[in-house]
């Protein structure tokens, strides 16, 4: 089943975009809405704390912890930080221990 099947759609027809949409012959854009972030504090996901150091990235941490860099978004979402720009050196982030369990929670 597609992960988008249950997602709500939004229509983007803002005046701000009108000139661009008109130039492309498009009246409106339908987009999938971003799912709200879940509060992982309410779950029983096991994690460990990691102090962010210079040169760290979600990509590398995913590769080191899960053997696959493509799960970087899981660590980012678990910490409510969409990009590395939101993390400062010395910040302590949480890294889920069990990949499968964490993936089930974020749906």
Per-residue pLDDT of 26-69, as tens digits, reads 877 787 776 665 666 667 889 999 999 999 999 999 999 999 99
Higher pLDDT among residues 20 and 55, named by residue: 55
Name the phi and psi angles at 14, rounded to 5. Answer: -65, 145
Which structural domains are found in the chain, ordered by start? 1-35 (no CATH), 40-106 (3.10.350.10)
CA 34, 40, 45, 49 torsion-angle sign:
positive
Query: What sections of 13-98 are H helices per DSSP?
Result: 15-23, 58-66, 72-78
Question: Would the pTM count as exceeding 0.85?
Answer: no
Name the phi and psi angles at 52, rounded to 5. Answer: -65, 130
């Amino acid at each position: 089943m597609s992960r988008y099947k249950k997602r709500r759609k939004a229509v983007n027809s803002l005046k701000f975009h009108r000139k661009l949409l008109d130039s492309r012959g498009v009246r409106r854009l339908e987009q999938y809405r971003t799912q709200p972030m879940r509060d992982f504090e309410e779950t029983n996901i096991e994690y460990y704390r990691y102090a962010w150091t210079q040169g760290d990235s979600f990509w590398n941490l995913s590769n080191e912890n899960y053997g696959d860099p493509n799960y970087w978004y899981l660590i980012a979402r678990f910490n409510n930080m969409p990009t590395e720009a939101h993390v400062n050196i010395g910040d302590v982030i949480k890294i889920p221990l069990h990949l499968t369990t964490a993936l089930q929670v974020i749906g």
